[in-house]
Chain A
Amino acid sequence: MSLKILDQFKDPQICRGLLERLQAALDSGLRFMEVCGTHTVAIFQSGLRSVLPKEVVHLSGPGCPVCVTHESEVNAFLDLAGTPGVIVATFGDLMRVPGRNGMTLKAAQAEGGRVSVVYSPFDALRLAADNPGEKVVFLGVGFETTAPGVAATILTARERGLENFRVLSFHKLVPPALAALLSDPGTDIDAFILPGHVSAIIGIEPYLFIGREHGKCAAITGFEPVDILRSLLFMVESRKAGRAEVVNLYRRVVADAGNPRAVQVMNQVFEVSDALWRGIGLIPASGLEMSEDYAEFDAKREFGVEVVECPPLPGCKCGEVLKGKIRPDQCPLFKKTCTPARPVGPCMVSTEGSCAAYYKYGLD
């Protein structure tokens, strides 16, 4: 899609019109949650947050894959970075995530660990081909958006007979996390802005339970201000009419059926497992691990990686932030001991985390 076409989704004139309609349609408050880090940033970066009617309350959910990567998973990355004969290949975001004693992959690299930042899992494959004497372990972190690409890389590795390529899969699934949030009696959410990229893979079907079982509205939404405002308007009107609808308002990218080929590749290589989410804990059937058929590429099996629940960091309220129970600035550590340069909790680590977004863009 050309960038020119995208301009109409940023148009200030259209935004002002939508804001007026939103204000007029409101008959009660709307507490909406987005569950994608790109939406978190888009809402802050565009200034949308500062112009929303005050009855419309924005909550940031567990939609940043870096933020929900469990401390115990980060410790596994650090162990691998210190293992002789291993080159760790990772997306850049993970470099600064603190594990045990505040240690990060960036610090491990400075101490001599072999860590290579890649832009795509296929770059990691190239790294494996270039270093036949070493094992290259790609850190598989991300949602349904990332997992099919990693799965395709594993298929390619098998095709090319690359015996030194491994993946440590800590991929996580979005719909089970939403189900866990909605089943938590402490959460207070009226509607969801559903992620665009994840939905491009899984389509609309996996979200229908939000309306059917929980009576809430949700809209698959693009990332421009006009996209987000249209979704908010739709959900306000839908709620007013007493309907609990789940819709796809991002049809220029997301097909209702998703991308069946990508889902098939993902299901071929991975199988669903329980997973630990940082700040939330264990969510049943919310992760992806390597299936038996691809065991030879599985770093978890080869290096005996185990993840275990550990107590939350003292004072850190990330769990409540991720569930939308409190705002980042209501956490006692926010901007005091917890800053992007020295993050305590996961929501401050990634640039797409809600605490980091509050810190970076928030005027209030």
Chain B
Amino acid sequence: MSSDKVLLDYGSGGRASQRLISELFLKHLGNPELARLNDAARLDLRGPLAFSTDTFTVDPIFFPGGDIGSLAVHGTVNDVAMLGAEPRFLSCGFIIEEGLPMADLERIVASMGRAAAKAGVFVVTGDTKVVPRSAVDKIFINTTGIGEIIVDPGPSGDRARPGDAVLISGTVGDHGLAVLSTRQGLSFETPVVSDSAALNHLIVRLIRELPDIHVLRDPTRGGLATTLNEIAESSGVGCEIDEAALPISPEVSGGCSFLGLDPLYLANEGKFLCFLPEGLAQRALEIMRSDPLGRAARRIGSVGADNPGKVVLRTGLGGRRLLNMLEGEQLPRIC
């Protein structure tokens, strides 16, 4: 590349764009379908299909445990997988602020390439726009994913039933706190690292062995509490969660108490909630714990018919209270 910064020319569609495509995108994301550089990708898929899109605007673009590139792959791969599907292909759209260091762009695209390879998905079509300074903040990435559904009807947010066990695949709050603390320039004695990861291989194993899983959902924005509420609402059931069983790392717990944040409302990018009939819970936990991404999996509660649409938390000292949805964003407190 001639310049060490991304210039407006690179999004023009002319020779500069072509150079960017061949020297950067094909280098890191390359596969036979993308390399054809046709206007559209030809996909060979068997239906029914799971289809999902997400746009990533995270600030900072690099954070402990990941970056906007790997996050854009993991986020969409996970969303597709949560339908009990095997993610196959991704599209990828970049909106880049003029002046972004070329080294940053390459670092991001290389990270996407590694994340896609690890998840076993192919980026088969893409688009790049470069916009004037301040029109976006550094770089925004949209990814859309498509995958093949393994069981039909499969897991769905409205299928939680009384008698279901509620499992979580690991500790909560890590990604949200890692990003927030980096954004604020705070550092902790033991650094908090994002959990950003592709969950599809573990999900595919789970769903193939236990096709009767009722709900799979990754508690991203709004955190565990918000996702549980969404499921309780759309299924018309009540969830009872045991506070003492919630896996929260000491670093996240300490950092949150320092900043006045509640880890149950912080985003996760490499965890999932699983609702399934009680009798299958033990086997599901065994499968989850056999994978590095589910090592700290736990049963955290159960589903009942009382308090439909609500989530009740049984606290450590035996009290009960509502675990409500997040209102707006969490803001630091005064005292």
Contact flag A49-B333 (CB < 8 Å), given A341-B327, A341-B328, A363-B312: no
Which residues on B sit within 8 Å (CB–CB) of A197? 335
Closest approach, in angstroms, between the C-beta of B252 and any C-beta of chain A?
12
Inter-subunit contact B317/A12 (CB<8 Å): yes
B18 within 8 A of A: no
| Residue of chain B at shortest CB distance from A51 | B319
The digit string for A341-364, where 1 denotes a CB below 8 A from any CB of B, is: 100000000011000000111110
Inter-subunit contact A50/B320 (CB<8 Å): yes
A276 within 8 A of B: no
B282 within 8 A of A: no
Contact of B319 among A48, A146, A339 (CB under 8 A): A48
| Residue of chain B at shortest CB distance from A15 | B317
B160 within 8 A of A: no
Which residues on A sit within 8 Å (CB–CB) of B318? 12, 15-16, 47, 51
Tell me which of A91-99, A157-165, A247-255, A281-289 binds B.
Answer: A91-99
The digit string for A7-25, where 1 denotes a CB below 8 A from any CB of B, is: 0001010011000000000
Within A229-261, which residues are at the interface with B (CB < 8 Å)?
Answer: none
| Residue of chain A at shortest CB distance from B316 | A12
| Residue of chain B at shortest CB distance from A3 | B254
Give the interface residue-count category, chain A. 35 or more
| Residue of chain A at shortest CB distance from B320 | A50
Within B209-253, which residues are at the interface with A (CB < 8 Å)?
Answer: 243, 250, 253
Inter-subunit contact A360/B322 (CB<8 Å): yes
Interface class of chain B by DSSP: loop
Give the interface residue-count category, chain B. 20 to 34
Inter-subunit contact B250/A145 (CB<8 Å): no
B1 within 8 A of A: no
Closest approach, in angstroms, between the C-beta of A172 and any C-beta of chain B?
12
B43 within 8 A of A: no
Contact flag A47-B317 (CB < 8 Å), given A3-B254, A360-B322: yes
| Residue of chain A at shortest CB distance from B184 | A119
Inter-subunit contact B250/A141 (CB<8 Å): no
B46 within 8 A of A: no
B12 within 8 A of A: no
Closest approach, in angstroms, between the C-beta of A156 and any C-beta of chain B?
19
Inter-subunit contact B321/A65 (CB<8 Å): no
Inter-subunit contact A10/B312 (CB<8 Å): no
Closest approach, in angstroms, between the C-beta of A196 and any C-beta of chain B?
10
| Residue of chain B at shortest CB distance from A38 | B335
Which residues on A sit within 8 Å (CB–CB) of B324? 359-361
B332 within 8 A of A: yes
How far does the alpha carbon of A339 sit from the alpha carbon of B331 in the complex, in Å?
A: 17
Which residues on B sit within 8 Å (CB–CB) of A91? 332-334
Which residues on B sit within 8 Å (CB–CB) of A38? 335
How far does the alpha carbon of A360 sit from the alpha carbon of B328 in the complex, in Å?
A: 13
Within A84-134, which residues are at the interface with B (CB < 8 Å)?
Answer: 91-96, 117, 119
Interface residues of A (CB under 8 A from B): 3, 10, 12, 15-16, 37-38, 44-51, 65-66, 91-96, 117, 119, 141-143, 145-146, 197, 225, 339-341, 351-352, 359-363
Interface residues of B (CB under 8 A from A): 184, 243, 250, 253-254, 257, 307, 312-322, 324, 327-328, 331-335
Closest CB pairs A-B (n = 3): A47-B319, A92-B331, A47-B315
25 inter-chain pairs at a CB distance below 8 angstroms, sorted by A residue, are: A12-B317, A37-B335, A46-B319, A47-B315, A48-B319, A49-B321, A50-B320, A51-B317, A51-B318, A91-B334, A92-B332, A93-B331, A93-B332, A95-B331, A96-B331, A117-B332, A142-B334, A143-B335, A145-B335, A225-B317, A339-B327, A351-B333, A352-B333, A362-B322, A363-B322
